[in-house]
Amino acid sequence: MSTKRQTVAVHAGSRLTGSKSQPVVPPIHVSAVSYFEDSDELDAALDGKDYVYSRISAPNAVLLEEAVAALEGAEACVVYASGMAALRAVFEAQGLREGDTVVMAADGYGVTRSLYKNLAARAGVRVEALVLSEASAPERVRALRPRLVLMESVTNPLLRVPDIRALSRACRDVGAALAVDSTFPSPHGQRACELGADYAIQSTTKWLNGHSDALGGSVSGSRERMAPLRAARLLHGDVLGPFEAWLTLRGVRTLPVRMKAHCAHAAHVARRLSESPHIARVHYPGLPEHPDHAVAREVLEGGFGGMVAFDIRDAGRPECFRFLEAVKVARAGPSLGDVGTLVMHAASASARRMTPEERQAAGIGESLIRVSVGLEDPDDIADDLLAAVAEAVKR
């Protein structure tokens, strides 16, 4: 190699030699491009048999895919730059045609509904929004004969819990694919593929990462179902960067330990909130009075999750905004899954992209607060929320 400084500066220190050590923590592979001295090896790499260009395949993303697939109990996984990119990929993989029907949750995440409505409108596809936790939902799916059903294993923000097994049977009867967004319980709380889902979708930004420092999304399922997703990602470029993949994999290492604590803290907070005269209703599937408690006990194998929602009695948007400003331990933020407690006003955040009529039909009122319960002392969390509620409803 040349000894000229310009050449040395570009190439020196680019390859480790002579060491047989194996790092405990995977390194961050930031190079977007690799080279091969053997042309046949380069040719094979361009077909995805080795790492040559990070849009095709990248070491940190592959390691994360292996970890998430293992957590989901699935054959394979494809990771994306965001949860929304993952949801879009599932829609587009179905090859939907004009006149086809897609069923999705009427009471789910508003941005997902907005995305699917836009995609469906372009393709001439009909979208039917159903409350999939209702006992009649499987029969309604059979009657509609959709090509795709997208459900949330725990709905955002009302925390309803559909019977994934019954919906899976209905989908099989009519030849529909079942996609399950199981971000709220995480793979620790529910392995959707083992319960009948064709696709298990995660916003890895949330519990999998666990620290609010990396966006991402994942889709897990059979190798057959993942192959077209992987091929489409190569063309669309919805790739997850190395830092984001590395940070998310770091979070995955502690997921079971964190989720056990999040679940325990959420259950404690829910019980405390249910005792307040200022709170009209607490939404938490672990409470015996929750309408889907029996189903939740069957389909949420790893606990009832770290999410709680509640309605402030006789409150509207002004009172809820005062609540957000009054919390001291919790922080007002439009996400979830962090080690710290996050709160948000559902109608103006998770349901922001829904029309007022859609929110009303879903049962998402102006008094609803969503809480991602963190790892602080659970009584500190509950005391903070209750004090903020009391401050919000002062006359």
Question: Does the annotation count 206 as an active-site position?
Answer: yes
Cα 273 versus chain centre, distance: 26
Q: How far is CA 67 from CA 220, 248, 378, in A?
A: 11, 10, 30
| CA gap 7, 24 in Å, rounded | 33
For 160-206, give the DSSP string: ----HHHHHHHHHHHT-EEEEE-TTTHHHH--GGGGT-SEEEE-TTT
**Angle CA 120–336–61, to nearest 5:** 70
Structure tokens at 354: 């829904």
CB 252 within 8 A of CB 73: no
Name the catalytic one among 80, 107, 147, 181: 181
Cα 50 versus chain centre, distance: 29
Amino acid (1-letter code) at residue 130:
L
Name the catalytic one among 51, 55, 140, 331: 55
| CA gap 301, 146 in Å, rounded | 28
Question: Does the annotation count 199 as an active-site position?
Answer: no
Name the catalytic one among 80, 109, 116, 199: 109
Name the catalytic one among 88, 206, 233, 258: 206
Residue with tokens 């001439």: 124
Question: Does the annotation count 173 as an active-site position?
Answer: no
Q: What stretches of the chain adopt beta strand conformation (E)? A: 76-80, 101-105, 126-130, 148-152, 177-181, 199-202, 217-221, 279-283, 307-312, 331-332, 342-345, 368-372
Catalytic residue numbers read 55, 109, 181, 206
